[in-house]
Structure 1
Amino acid sequence: MSRKVVRSSKFRHVFGQAVKADQCYDDIRISQMTWDSNFCTVNPRFVAMIVDASGGGAFIVLPLNKTGRIDMSYPTVCGHTGPVLDIEFCPHNDNIIASASEDCSVMVWEIPDNGLTSPLTEPVVKLDGHSKRVGTLSWHPTAHNVLMTAGCDNVLILWNVARGEAMVRMDTVHTDMIYSAVWNRDGSQILTTCKDKIIRILDPRKGTVIAEKEKPHEGTRPVRAVFMSDGKILSTGFSRMSERQVALWDPKNFTEPLTLQELDTGSGVLLPFYDPDTSVVYLGGKGDSSIRYFEVTDEAPYVHYLSMYSGKDSQKGMGYMPKRGLEVNKCEIARFYKLHERKCEPIIMTVPRKSDLFQEDLYPDTIGPEPSVEADDWFAGKEAPPILISLKDGFVATTKSREFKVHKSLLKTTSGSGAGQANSMLTFDVQSLNKELKDLRAEVEALTKRVKELESKH
């Protein structure tokens, strides 16, 4: 009788645990929309969740430490005229968040340092270019102010947010609705899944297809896919018998998967979260109450099941904390913000260790908040690997993360001279802008009055 040798892995005993009740965010009416996005985004400062809103779309942004019961009157970000479908914090500035909506628009917002004290209705930038609802958005991992959006109009757009301009528009690549769109680690490629049952790897600046795979999963339900750090692709989908599957692909040879595993007969789309530092991938299904996790390695069967965290309540969505927001002294390797009907519950994944020294093997240098290239340079063809930081002393967010700059041309309806605009950059936050406009109007009125007085004297 051959006994199976147990594979050694430091992540075999990853332990998932929900936080205590008083560390959850309670009494939040999570959106009832049936859309397969995360509905939640988080960074070391804030957690944001899409909420139900009467007469439009809204999401709530809470400082991380504002746990407990959230007052019904807590201000929201509510500038969209239709339900919000996806939100994501900018990786290079913790105060900046983008939202995509059923109203066909994408908006970029600036959240004050201590959170909102009044409803936020004016975005810093509004991006109009889609003709149907926009269901997916994602910030570029290394280039500052580059945002990708994908809509139900089968169009994928790359924006230079600082200019408010669509720089690349891919409107002939996808023949049906785009389910998901993600970047690879340095943002040199995009991976999309589509209702036409094709996974595509795209060159983002040329807008061309590098490789594609038809029917990675036989079933008709939506597929999700993410890049692994070595360029391989992990996909989740359904078999012809509606069983949920996870597969690993090598794009150099897309004919057969390296591995294909059937998991269960759940109906929710499995959302994959990949950690390139540990090569652990977490799968959380919409409507599930569990999070499964696997280690991805170089040898067969490549995707090794580790364990599963199970909670009592099913999840409507999930936020995933960037590595720099974790507590390294507690050997925390991942943290999820799990959305229920009326609350958000942080789930902490740890590797139990006896020593309280910094565990270097768990925390290699990881992506920091500093971009490695500006939008204009990136669109001009410049590549840059991510700028890594050490977590040895825990990451401390500086009080003012990188300023969000918007070109003055955004505030004009007619465009002036290109070079002059490019140099005249304006940093502002929405609140002070409104005040400035008020003051300017008053000045103009006073001057008009003065001119009339002078004219009447002559």
Structure 2
Amino acid sequence: MSRQVVRSSKFRHVFGQPAKADQCYEDVRVSQTTWDSGFCAVNPKFVALICEASGGGAFLVLSLGKTGRVDKNAPMVCGHTAPVLDIAWCPHNDNVIASGSEDCTVMVWEIPDGGLTLPLREPVVTLEGHTKRVGIVAWHPTAQNVLLSAGCDNVILVWDVGTGAAVLTLGSDVHPDTIYSVDWSRDGALICTSCRDKRVRIIEPRKGTVVAEKDRPHEGTRPVRAVFVSDGKILTTGFSRMSERQVALWDTKHLEEPLSLQELDTSSGVLLPFFDPDTNIVYLCGKGDSSIRYFEITSEAPYLHYLSMFSSKESQRGMGYMPKRGLEVNKCEIARFYKLHERRCEPIAMTVPRKSDLFQEDLYPPTAGPDAALTAEEWLKGQDAGPLLISLKDGYVPPKSRELRVNRGLDTGRRKAAPEAGGTPSSDAIHRLEEEMKKLQATVQELHKRLESLEETVQAK
């Protein structure tokens, strides 16, 4: 039965094609940190890579077309004071990226069109609230300027980036141990988390309530990761008691037994899952090994169908996943990964072989576009909405007004001290200005004393 369903699938012959040498990004010093994140984030404009950096945390942002050898003095995003652990591009603005670091902060950055010409040290906003390192950052899929962060203090914070404030907190009473993974549902109503206490939880973040949870979805002791897939299901990756890597599919309403559980191999690397809701394909990228496996999820038993595996000789240190609107639809490309080697980033295109050059509508249903469906305020008040869909028939063209409209919301963090045009400054802004004046006055007094001292010394001579 399983074989018959897979054989009839249009994705059965999907194959991975590594980019040629001149289409890779060479001489990048990928981070040596042992944290289990992808270390790479991509969108239709930029590729961002977490790098080794002296004296703090940094990551590299390159325009997608700037392939080849990367200058060792290339400007980096370097505002963190400790290694960066995770990065994520905003789904509603291709110039905005968030980073979480060992310095306990989350920073949101704005990358100029064309990429960086100078090192970027000043974030748009710094989000401070965690007491230990921040290992996970994830943007809300449909609400504008809503960002989630998870720290090693076992706390999840949801931020309104526009105001720089933490609007929701899920404390250590929800997760008593380290949080391994967090994933938003497609409409952003729920989050799915995996934790070191061996539980996977479905949580309504606005109420702070655990809707459902599963103890020990995998028997092994190694980290579990969990993501939402279609039709109210979640997919988990983990290890068996015999340390074999496993993938399992679960119905969130009936978590007693998995819909499907498959054992894969005995490699030790954590499997990073990437789900494509347009094709219902999930890709599993093993951190530290050299394979990408892919499965198709269907609504009928046996639910999870193995399709194929892309393998290469070199192992991957991390992996980035391109949003659907950044793919080349005229080449029947249904996914693209950015594989991190020790000193190189290599794009890998996943393609469905087709003879026709025409647009293949069955491969590219309407997909999530760059516009937010909700404001942060609407979502916080309880509204939910799926992504606003766009057609890829004529390729993806970014809207012209995007930067101005989105950045106004982001700029409020930067402009908190500045009064609105024609208005009066807030009491907070006045207080900050007074503090600044006191500091300046103290500095002037110090300099005045030093000047007098120097004059006395000169006169004595």
Same fold (TM over 0.5): yes
* SS of aligned partner of 1:191: strand
Partner of 2:166: 166
- Give the drift of 1:207: 1.3
Listed as ranges, the matches of 1:349-368 within 5 Å are 349-368=350-369
Contact 2:316-2:341 at 8 Å conserved across structures: yes
Distance 1:3 1:228 in 2: 19
* SS of aligned partner of 1:94: coil
Amino acid at match of 2:268: S
The structure 1 residue matched to 2:410, chosen from 389, 406, 411, is 406
Q: Which runs of 4+ in 1 moved over 3 A?
A: 2-7, 406-416, 419-422
* SS of aligned partner of 2:402: coil
Distance 2:140 2:424 in 1: 26
Deviation string 1:45-94 (CA, Å, 9 cap, x unpaired) is 00000000011000000000000000000000000001000000000000
Partner of 1:307: 308
Are 2:203 and 1:199 equivalent residues in the alignment?
no
Contact 1:232-1:251 at 8 Å conserved across structures: yes
Partner of 1:383: 384
- Give the drift of 1:406: 3.3
TM-score, normalised relative to structure 2: 0.88
Partner of 1:450: none
Gaps of 5+ in 2: 427-435, 445-461
Distance 1:406 1:303 in 2: 41
* SS of aligned partner of 1:264: coil
Partner of 2:226: 225
Contact 1:272-1:284 at 8 Å conserved across structures: yes
- Give the drift of 1:369: 0.3
Distance 1:8 1:303 in 2: 14
* SS of aligned partner of 1:144: coil
Distance 1:232 1:382 in 2: 22
Amino acid at match of 1:114: G
Distance 1:88 1:293 in 2: 23
Partner of 2:450: none
Partner of 2:92: 92
Amino acid at match of 1:295: E
Deviation string 1:146-203 (CA, Å, 9 cap, x unpaired) is 0000000000000000000000001020010000101010100000000000000000
* SS of aligned partner of 2:202: strand
* SS of aligned partner of 1:309: strand
Amino acid at match of 1:342: R
Partner of 1:39: 39
Distance 2:344 2:350 in 1: 19
Deviation string 1:92-135 (CA, Å, 9 cap, x unpaired) is 00000000000000000000001000000110000000000000
Amino acid at match of 2:114: N
Distance 1:68 1:413 in 2: 43
* SS of aligned partner of 2:61: strand
Q: Are the structure 2 counterparts of residues 148 and 261 from structure 1 closer, same or farther at C-alpha, using a change threshold of 3 Å?
A: same
- Give the drift of 1:389: 0.1
Partner of 1:321: 322
- Give the drift of 1:409: 6.4
Distance 1:204 1:329 in 2: 40
Distance 2:2 2:68 in 1: 50
Partner of 1:426: none
Contact 1:409-1:415 at 8 Å conserved across structures: no
- Give the drift of 1:265: 0.1
Contact 1:23-1:67 at 8 Å conserved across structures: yes
Contact 2:125-2:413 at 8 Å conserved across structures: no
Q: Are the structure 2 counterparts of residues 102 and 15 from structure 1 closer, same or farther at C-alpha, using a change threshold of 3 Å?
A: same
Q: Are the structure 2 counterparts of residues 394 and 415 from structure 1 closer, same or farther at C-alpha, using a change threshold of 3 Å?
A: closer
- Give the drift of 1:399: 4.9
Q: Are the structure 2 counterparts of residues 420 and 173 from structure 1 closer, same or farther at C-alpha, using a change threshold of 3 Å?
A: farther
Listed as ranges, the matches of 1:76-115 within 5 Å are 76-115=76-115
Are 2:278 and 1:287 equivalent residues in the alignment?
no
Partner of 2:12: 12
* SS of aligned partner of 1:376: helix
Contact 1:44-1:397 at 8 Å conserved across structures: no
Listed as ranges, the matches of 1:401-440 within 5 Å are 401-402=402-403, 403-404=406-407, 405-406=409-410, 408=412, 411-412=415-416
Q: Are the structure 2 counterparts of residues 61 and 421 from structure 1 closer, same or farther at C-alpha, using a change threshold of 3 Å?
A: farther
Partner of 2:137: 137
Amino acid at match of 2:296: E
Distance 2:101 2:394 in 1: 39
Distance 1:81 1:128 in 2: 13
Q: Are the structure 2 counterparts of residues 10 and 57 from structure 1 closer, same or farther at C-alpha, using a change threshold of 3 Å?
A: same
Partner of 2:69: 69
Listed as ranges, the matches of 1:206-221 within 5 Å are 206-221=207-222
Partner of 1:433: none
Amino acid at match of 2:378: D
* SS of aligned partner of 1:335: strand
- Give the drift of 1:7: 3.3
- Percent identity between the two aligned chains: 68
Contact 1:42-1:48 at 8 Å conserved across structures: yes
Q: Are the structure 2 counterparts of residues 210 and 69 from structure 1 closer, same or farther at C-alpha, using a change threshold of 3 Å?
A: same
- Give the drift of 1:382: 1.8
Equivalenced residue count is 422
Q: CA RMSD of the aligned region, Å?
A: 2.2
